[in-house]
Structure 1
Amino acid sequence: MTHPTATKVLVIGYVWPEPRSSAASGHVMQILETFLQQGWEVTFSSPASPGEHMADLAALGIREVPIELNNSSFDTFISELAPDIVLFDQFMMEEQFGWRVEQHCPNALRVLETSDLQSLRHARHQRLKDRLKNNSDQDDFSDLFAPALHEEFLSMAHSDLAKREIAALYRCDLNLMISAVEIALLVEQFGLPRHLLHECPLMVDSPSAPPRTFADRAHFLSIGNFRHAPNWDAVLWMKSTVWPLIRQQLPDAQLHIYGAYTPPKATALHNAAQGFHVLNRAEDALQVMAAARVCLAPLRFGAGIKGKLLDAMMCGTPSVTTPIGAEGMHGDARWPGAITHSAREFATRAVALYTDEALWQAAQQTGNTLLGERYQRAIHGPALIEKLRYCQQNLQALRAQNFTGSMLRHHSHKSTQYMSQWIEAKNKNK
């Protein structure tokens, strides 16, 4: 039972969390668990339909309340709940519900959980599309990987998505960022005040059992939700270019690709004769990761940090990826495997890891060290709680420092409010 004076948290989710389907949902669950460990009273709401693989929040003691877009029933709900903290999961939820939260619970701390910078991911996707349209070379993509922060800024600054997303960051009292690289981009290029941002990476506990050995593993593995565009692009690049190069060196190699919500276009790529196995969602992602010898993540665009690569470290599975895949995950430390810039380099390093036991063992140990240094729940969980409490205790002073956020709330929330009320009235008259 929660204490009568327990902090009340309302989480407004873009979707109901499916931690076995996406790293973003896994991160939300880690945050929810951190709140529960404090004895806080947590309510989760979403306007989305429940997904096939959604977490059983009620079993954890989290109240589940469906909500509707453009409906004043939310006003009654939040007024009665009177939360101390409102966490928006993705900026679109702040756009939809932020003005209602401010209107009915003005003293609630408003927090945005970003998962990744969507405008950055979309800008990189567009850059890849332009590159593929103007250049037939499917091998070397070094010109796309990890450009200077100012180049990233220039590629994003013109987009409506970036303007919407960064405005939402300003309107909130605190924003949880999963990547230090994205924090640097926002502070150094977009000019966001540093105090509005808090680094909250994926949080895990150290593995309790030693990982499986080199000899006790087989096959290459790739894993990721097929609905996530960077994952689908990685599968296509593997099929067309990367995997044939690996099979040239290892003719009997097998690649197992797992993904939630496998579409027919992905199933059509399955070819057992080529060792290219497109499978459905893994019931236990860590189990299949622990059985694989090498994890492949040839990501040509994306943002945030990658749950699959953290899972690989958890399972003692060396990985081969790109600078996009490894971004924000290892700082100045070595990577537990290889970071590559071209399909040929990717294939060569993957084969070396797969066949050289000493190289593989060194990469496994590197991953274990990185896990302990950067992703411990015991460090990041308390840091998050401390930051939230500090913001609650200094809320008015912090808001006074954020005039830009106040200005954006005034203009944006008024227009959103009037549009929402118009839509609601129109729906009632149908």
Structure 2
Amino acid sequence: MWWDIVKVLYIATRWPWPVEMGRQRMIVQTLEFAATLGEVHLLSFGDPPTKPAPDFISSSGMLEMSGLMGIAGSMLRRPLLPLQSHLFLNGPATAAVMEAAERIRPDVIVFDMARLSHLALAIHRHYPGIRLVLDMDDRLSKRYQRMLTNETAGDLGGTFEARLPGAIRFLVPRLKKLLLRVEKSLMDRSERRAADVFDAILMVSALEADEMRTDCPGRADVVAFPPLINELPVPQQDFSRSVRFVFIGNAGYAPNAEALELLDRAAVQVSKNTGSSDTDYCFQAAGKPLAHAVYKKVEVAGFVPDLSAFLAGNAVLVAPILQGTGIKTKIIDALEHSVPVITTPVGAEGLGLTEGEHFICVLGEDDLAQACLHIIRSPEARGGLARMAAAARNKGLTSQNRTILRDRLTFAFGL
């Protein structure tokens, strides 16, 4: 393929722009790196976009999601597919994908997450010479197991819930545990099959990539493709007299909503136990807010047009994430801006960071409150924040820079 222009077709489960959540960010990252290797085309499920594709996308189009009757029929015909796959399995969408493959004649087709594996099988039957890459993101079966373990876990529908037919939206919260158990089992089966269906699988976490190779052996090359850490200018930082404990993320995503509630409870503890202190402090949350949510101590900033400005000065990222898998892009934002981080083992998972050296580790509400109180009360603790943040950023840049990620995508594409 080196003597021709490499053509890449990406099939997404959501339109990537504007970027409002971590998964969109990772889709855009794959598209941008792919554009450095060849010609990129995009098909996306969902509603017509509010923001057009950028100039590096050669062509784009929308695919139809399944309605209630289509989902029911698909489930009857293919009962062993993950439940979420039926949202995307319908005749018009499959026909549109096949038409695009015939028209574009791509060398590589990238599929957004395991829920689209059924489309890869259809492509392979008609075009066995096309290289198939699964942009898997993370192990959904592992995520669902954590949701089952965590009794306060959020909605199974996740960010797709608003796109489900009304009757299904009604059932999801009422049958959550049953649906989670079923979907965990079906998704585990789908992930195992993917190892033999695809030529390569991209995963955001090196840890989960290793687990995938062990748990789901097959012909696919499993490649760690984590979020890029940009070398942004280090902001002016001063924690001597004040500190802002900040959270960033879409509150409509269940793990973020849960983390915000935990943060607010910890903030109440901090407020009750601060006593006399010369250090000013506050708790803030940036990102898409959750409708009707009310917090006692966390100030909701909503969408911030300039994240660099929001994270400058005296910001400490607080991410008390208790569920989810893969790499958390809010931690990447902090590393890019050299902002100190307080998070859980789940929040730091897959980044190769060391507790105490690169971030402050907390296990829950009480731990978080104590960590914040220690920073507020101790000039020595505040004095070490910038050094800790710089060490974490330097660690991240060793494995998540442009050169390494471009090389990994080149390998996944078989170039």
> Which TM-score band (shorter chain)?
0.7 to 0.9
Aligned residues: CA RMSD: 2.8
CA separation of 1:27/1:365 partners in 2, compared to 1, >3 Å: closer, same or farther?
same
Contact 1:319–1:337, Cα closer than 8 Å, also in 2: yes
Q: Which residue of 2 aligns with 1:324?
A: 346
How far has the Cα of 1:333 moved from its partner?
7.6
Contact 2:107–2:130, Cα closer than 8 Å, also in 1: yes
The 2-side partners of 1:220 and 1:118 are apart by 30
Moved more, 114-123 or 84-93: 114-123
How far has the Cα of 1:215 moved from its partner?
4.4
Matched, 1:344 2:371: no
Post-superposition Cα deviations, 1:398-424, rounded to whole Å, max 9, x if no partner, equal xxxxxxxxxxxxxxxxxxxxxxxxxxx
Q: Helix, strand or coil for the counterpart of 1:11?
A: strand
Please show how residues 30-429 of structure 1 align to structure 2 within 5 Å: 30-38=29-37, 40-50=38-48, 52=50, 54=51, 56-68=52-64, 69-71=90-92, 72-95=95-118, 97-129=119-151, 159-188=185-214, 190-193=215-218, 196-207=221-232, 209-215=233-239, 218-239=243-264, 241-250=265-274, 253-260=281-288, 262-266=289-293, 269-271=294-296, 274=297, 276-330=298-352, 335-353=357-375, 356-389=381-414
Contact 1:43–1:64, Cα closer than 8 Å, also in 2: yes
Post-superposition Cα deviations, 1:191-228, rounded to whole Å, max 9, x if no partner, equal 42485311111113312x23221249741110111232
TM-score by length of 1: 0.75
Contact 1:112–1:176, Cα closer than 8 Å, also in 2: yes
How far has the Cα of 1:179 moved from its partner?
0.8
How far has the Cα of 1:158 moved from its partner?
6.5
Which structure has greater strand proportion?
2
CA separation of 1:170/1:4 partners in 2, compared to 1, >3 Å: closer, same or farther?
closer
Residue identity opposite 1:187 in structure 2: R
How far has the Cα of 1:341 moved from its partner?
1.6
Which structure has greater helix proportion?
1
The 2-side partners of 1:159 and 1:385 are apart by 32
The 2-side partners of 1:288 and 1:99 are apart by 45
The 1-side partners of 2:153 and 2:408 are apart by 41
Residue identity opposite 1:74 in structure 2: V
Residue identity opposite 1:165 in structure 2: E
- Structure 2 unaligned residues grouped into runs of 5+: 65-89, 155-180
Q: Helix, strand or coil for the counterpart of 2:374?
A: helix
How far has the Cα of 1:75 moved from its partner?
2.1
The 2-side partners of 1:292 and 1:302 are apart by 28
How far has the Cα of 1:334 moved from its partner?
5.7
The 2-side partners of 1:219 and 1:333 are apart by 21
The 2-side partners of 1:112 and 1:92 are apart by 10
Identity %: 21
Q: Helix, strand or coil for the counterpart of 2:360?
A: strand
Contact 1:187–1:194, Cα closer than 8 Å, also in 2: no
The 2-side partners of 1:341 and 1:327 are apart by 13
- Structure 1 unaligned residues grouped into runs of 5+: 133-154, 391-430
The 2-side partners of 1:156 and 1:369 are apart by 42
Q: Which residue of 1 aligns with 2:21?
A: 22
CA separation of 1:210/1:264 partners in 2, compared to 1, >3 Å: closer, same or farther?
closer
The 1-side partners of 2:385 and 2:101 are apart by 53
The 2-side partners of 1:18 and 1:296 are apart by 26
Q: How many residues align?
A: 353
Q: Helix, strand or coil for the counterpart of 1:197?
A: strand
- Point out which structure has higher relative CO (alpha carbons under 8 A, 6+ apart): 1
Q: Helix, strand or coil for the counterpart of 2:121?
A: helix
How far has the Cα of 1:332 moved from its partner?
5.5
How far has the Cα of 1:178 moved from its partner?
0.9
TM-score by length of 2: 0.77
